[in-house]
């Protein structure tokens, strides 16, 4: 495979020396970029964009043409696995993702198949292979999946939710049913991420978007345990390199010490956790990724730079920081403000890596 020209991101995840703090942005390929809007219009709709390897590759590479980012992230969706299980994913205008056939009973859960990543999800692997070829070793490619708990919330609720009453009702009244579902999802995610690694991604990330809605006990039993199971089953080396794993639980700052025990290489932080506190908590056990509030990208350049400087100072000297937003970039952020951030992080971080 191609020689990696910039491995700063992978080195930071493994807490190895770098010349400056690497930076990428969640949802860096997305609606805030006019060129993305044009490619999505060409595809016709969001899932058609995900399923066309050439177009998925094009939108993955678009932010790299604008900004000196240190990583590319596969353009896909966290709900590809439930879709491949036959739930009928579609996107309602202004409503977000929905499922035609949400899970209503234990019987529905028992019938769920475990998708073969090179069959039902081959379009994702084709996108990975196409992106790797076109990246030409400029920066590493990140693969990802939703966490079992997060995928289960959409599958049981039928789409997005504010109160999560259906999945919590299942959790408290039929925990065995929920455990069966989460077990199938953990197996599916493990196969899916390993297939992405074999296809060419050089790091993987597990997005636990809704872990933060659980109690501490609930989080350990219904979210963390299944992410731990996935990590235990992942390929950790490919192409002669370590494949780092990042866990990100939005709203999970209070569980960082427990997350760090799973064998992951890095933890993602949202903006509600102070990065200095997080570093003191986990020590040198794992790297940290984060964690600017995406809304700061609405501000003037000077304010964006100030925030970047504060986060870099909060982490302090030494290795193991990947700069990122605390969640995805907002669709109405001016693209030039993202440029201000990337260049500020590179410039301001050099003194922390003497």
Extended strands (E) in 237-286 = 237-238, 241-242, 245-249, 266-268
29 is in an annotated binding site: yes
| Cβ-contact 326, 294 below 8 angstroms | yes
36 is in an annotated binding site: no
What the block records as the tokens of 117 is 């990543």
Nearest-angstrom CA–CA distance, 152 and 200: 27
Residue 263 CB partners (closer than 8 Å, separation 6+): 228, 231, 232, 245
In this structure, the dihedral spanned by the alpha carbons of residues 39, 49, 186 and 135, taken in order and rounded to 10 degrees, is -50
277 is in an annotated binding site: no
Active site residue 219: no
Active site residue 132: no
How many CA atoms lie less than 13 Å away from 285 in the CB half-sphere? 16
The catalytically annotated residue of 7, 70, 77, 83 is 77
Active site residue 27: yes
CA nearest 289: which of 315, 252, 259? Answer: 315
289 is in an annotated binding site: no
What the block records as the tokens of 334 is 């001016």
3-state secondary structure of 319: coil
209 is in an annotated binding site: yes
327 is in an annotated binding site: yes
What the block records as the tokens of 217 is 């006990």
154 is in an annotated binding site: yes
The catalytically annotated residue of 8, 11, 15, 27 is 27
* In the block, residue with structure tokens 């353009």: 75
Active site residue 66: no
The catalytically annotated residue of 36, 154, 192, 226 is 154
Q: Cα dihedral sign for 23, 29, 31, 36? A: positive
196 is in an annotated binding site: no
136 is in an annotated binding site: no
Distance of alpha carbon 35 from the chain centroid = 22
For residue 248, cis peptide bond before it (omega within 30 degrees of 0)? no
Active site residue 154: yes
Active site residues: 27, 31, 40, 77, 154
Residues at the annotated binding site for substrate? 27-31, 77, 154, 209, 327
Residue set of the binding site: 27-31, 77, 154, 209, 327
């Amino acid at each position: 495979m191609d020689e990696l020209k910039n491995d700063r991101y992978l080195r930071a995840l493994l807490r190895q020396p770098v010349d400056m703090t690497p930076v990428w942005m969640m949802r860096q390929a997305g609606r805030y970029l006019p060129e993305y809007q044009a490619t999505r219009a060409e595809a016709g709709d969001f899932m058609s964009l995900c399923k066309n390897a050439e177009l998925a590759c094009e939108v993955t590479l678009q932010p790299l043409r604008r900004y000196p980012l240190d990583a590319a992230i596969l353009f896909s969706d966290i709900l590809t696995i439930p879709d491949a299980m036959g739930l009928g994913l579609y996107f309602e205008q202004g409503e977000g993702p929905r499922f035609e056939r949400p899970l209503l009973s234990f019987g529905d859960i028992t019938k769920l198949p475990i998708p073969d990543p090179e069959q039902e999800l081959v379009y994702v692997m084709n996108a990975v292979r196409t992106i790797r070829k076109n990246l030409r070793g400029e920066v590493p490619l990140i693969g990802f999946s939703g966490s079992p708990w997060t995928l289960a919330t959409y599958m049981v609720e039928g789409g997005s939710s504010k109160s999560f009453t259906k999945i919590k009702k299942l959790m408290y009244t039929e925990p065995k049913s929920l455990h069966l579902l989460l077990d199938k999802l953990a197996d599916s995610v493990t196969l899916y991420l390993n297939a992405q690694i074999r296809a060419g991604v050089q790091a993987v990330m597990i997005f636990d978007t809704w872990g933060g809605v659980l109690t501490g006990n609930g989080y350990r039993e219904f979210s963390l345990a299944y992410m731990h199971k996935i990590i235990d089953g992942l390929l950790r080396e490919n192409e002669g390199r370590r494949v780092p794993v990042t866990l990100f639980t939005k709203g999970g700052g209070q569980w960082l010490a427990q997350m760090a025990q799973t064998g992951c290489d890095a933890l993602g932080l949202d903006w509600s956790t102070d990065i200095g506190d997080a570093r003191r908590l986990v020590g040198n056990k794992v790297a940290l990724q984060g964690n600017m509030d995406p809304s700061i990208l609405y501000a003037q350049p000077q304010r964006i730079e100030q925030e970047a400087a504060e986060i870099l100072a909060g982490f302090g000297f030494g290795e193991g920081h990947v700069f990122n937003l605390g969640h995805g970039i907002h669709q109405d952020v001016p693209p030039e403000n993202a440029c201000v951030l990337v260049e500020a992080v590179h410039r301001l971080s050099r003194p922390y890596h003497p």
